[in-house]
Chains A and B, each alone.
Chain A
Amino acid sequence: MSIMKSVNDFLARLSGKLKGGGEIAIEKQKKKGKHTARERIEDLLLDPDSFLETDLFVEHSVKDFGMDRKDLAGDGVITGFGKISNRSVAVFAQDFTVAGGSLGRAHAKKITKVMDTAAEAHIPLIGINDSGGARIQEGVESLCGYGEIFYRNTRLSGIIPQISVILGPCAGGAVYSPALTDFVFVVNKISNMFITGPQVIKTVLGEEVTQEELGGAVTQTSITGNAHFYAESEVEAFDTLKKLLSFLPSNSNEKPPVYRTVPPVNPLGDDVIPDDRKQAYSVRDIIRGIVDASDFLEVHEHWARNIVVGFARLDGKSIGIIANQPRVLAGVLDVNASDKAARFIRFCDSFNIPLLTMVDTPGYLPGIDQEHAGVIRHGAKLLYAYSEATVPKMTLIMRKAYGGAYIAMCSRHLGATFVASWPSGEIAVMGPEGAANIIFRREIAEADDPEACRQEKVREYEEKFSNPYVAAKKGYVDTIIRSSMTRDTFIKALSVADSFKVGHKHGNIPL
């Protein structure tokens, strides 16, 4: 064959492969409001013209059930490498237009190959899931494929950031690859995740449920906590993903990129929380008053809302924020809040992101359901995660820091590197009401006017213990600052701790 002939032959083969599942299948994909796998990678995710595709010409070798007559472009998945904000990433996107994006041996091998390269290159991995599930014609080979992906997801955990974007069905065993990764994105009316779908549930159990109710984007971000980021559109999901990456290093041996310092839009004054400790406020407003450009990327925004976690910058440097949210359930710790915070802390520790913990919590949520749901076991994860973390651990006590929850919220006793309190901080075993009722039980009962006596004892306790000075006298609080000084203080504290050691510490096990 002459050179030109071989080039033309190649171009013909290439254009066939680039069409994916063909025009009809692509039209169907579009009708569902979805982009094609190639558009997702090249147009929505990566920097223009940065995509380097691999394994486009890989074919399956299955002979059963007429599969030998089927030519599946790229075996239903697009793989390769590219840049996001000029930083390298590895990527794969399942192509629903090709055999429903079903996963067979060759499909899986393409994925594990980019994963292996990502591991060697120390770059983040982004997986886009849009698949009907296992390719049933391939039997155990398909299951082998899933297993080998799960194995790598786990072995790479805590070494490179792994992010999953669910843009279609992701059902059965397939859900476990995203579940093992660090962050999962879902899109309203496009994403679905479940182990057994509505049809199976109806057949086996007789219960009717829609796909959306069972495992849609709202369900996965507000009820189950399986997904971390909710978006209204694919474009929005990818924009948020790119923003997320801007806070992260490419691997556990690096620190996150440092940006130019930008002051907050509305810096904190000295009067930022309500006088009455029983009144709620949103801790998000406080966070935005402290961090660079008031820019806060919240993780798990809609799940376990009594704690707020997410990424921001201080003096241009990435930090992970963990803050009690007094607006929801008074900011108590409970089973889900403990899981949410613990996993976030462990991610930050894996990837050299210093922690800022903001405390205003009355304690743990009381109740039979919490106890029976294992609040002891789940709460322990929070203590473990904070104690284990070796990144700089900075703590701000804003108001209530009571009892076990005070200890758990990155107190000095769990190895905090720097603890500041506002003058409104109350570090005590419990709130003044509860404490007075216990300490002065007899005096109150025997008083001529028990209620008046109780009020007086509450005030007495309040004056003595509802402040940060008792803890400051012991050195458990390093400094007491006006709220207007918060940003400056923590910028200094972060700079003191700046040369902390990096390197692989541990994986980010789903908690």
Chain B
Amino acid sequence: MESKLGKLNIDGTEYSTEIPDGALEAFEGAPDPSEVRAFIPGGIVDILVSEGDTVEPGSILLLLEAMKMHNEICSNIKGIVSKIHVSKDDTVKKDQLLVEISGF
């Protein structure tokens, strides 16, 4: 694994030391609920909403096939479908943006 020399602060003291890559990566913040992303790579089987549709928390937006299962991708918020970024039969990567919803 790659490493670089750096400073590590523990309780106010800065130590000169090797910092292996990825060792200090913090978790990203909570995901933005207005952006619906693929939680797993897979294929878009069907899109059940159109731009401009009103959705509720739990409304099914599209079906994502992965691990031989059709996964229902739902909205987490109430809002209007402002943009659909994928088409039927597209292959998507993990965390790829699928649908944007503008909340009320």
Contact = CB atoms under 8 A, between A and B. Distances in A.
B12 A330 contact: no
A401 to B, nearest CB: 13
B32 interface: no
Contact of B10 (A223, A330, A369, A437): A330
B93 to A, nearest CB: 7
A328 B8 CA distance: 10
Given A204-B67, A206-B93, A280 B12 contact: no
Given A204-B66, A302-B1, A433-B11, A329 B91 contact: no
A280 B15 contact: yes
B16 A279 contact: yes
Interface stretch (B17-25, B45-53, B54-62, B74-82): B17-25
Contact of A329 (B18, B41, B42, B43): B18
Interface in A198-222: 204-207, 222
A207 B95 CA distance: 13
A331 B23 CA distance: 13
Interface residues of A, number: 35
Interface string B74-104: 0000000000000000010110000000000
A367 interface: yes
A289 to B, nearest CB: 21
B12 A433 contact: yes
Tell which of A206, A223, A330 has the most Cβ of chain B within 10 Å. A330
B11 A328 contact: no
A362 interface: yes
B69 to A, nearest CB: 10
Given A207-B41, A362-B10, A327 B17 contact: yes
A329 B1 contact: no
Contacts, number: 87
A255 to B, nearest CB: 37
Contacts of B11: 362-363, 402, 430-431, 433-435
B66 A329 contact: no
B17 A329 contact: yes
Contacts of A331: 17
A276 to B, nearest CB: 9
A280 B13 CA distance: 13
A105 interface: no
A6 B11 CA distance: 80
Contacts of B93: 206-207
Interface string B22-34: 0111110000000
A366 interface: yes
A442 interface: no
A326 B16 CA distance: 9
Contacts of A205: 40-42, 66-67, 94
Interface of A: 204-207, 222-223, 277-280, 302, 305, 326-332, 362-363, 365-369, 372, 402, 430-435, 437
25 contacts: A204-B67, A205-B66, A205-B94, A206-B41, A206-B42, A222-B1, A278-B14, A278-B16, A279-B16, A280-B15, A327-B18, A328-B18, A329-B17, A330-B8, A330-B10, A330-B17, A331-B17, A363-B11, A372-B27, A431-B12, A432-B13, A433-B13, A434-B10, A434-B12, A434-B13
Given A223-B1, A278-B16, A372-B27, 20 more contacts: A205-B41, A205-B67, A207-B94, A278-B15, A279-B16, A280-B15, A280-B17, A280-B18, A305-B18, A326-B17, A327-B18, A329-B23, A332-B10, A365-B23, A366-B10, A367-B24, A369-B25, A433-B11, A434-B10, A435-B11
Interface of B: 1, 3, 8, 10-20, 23-27, 40-43, 66-68, 91, 93-94
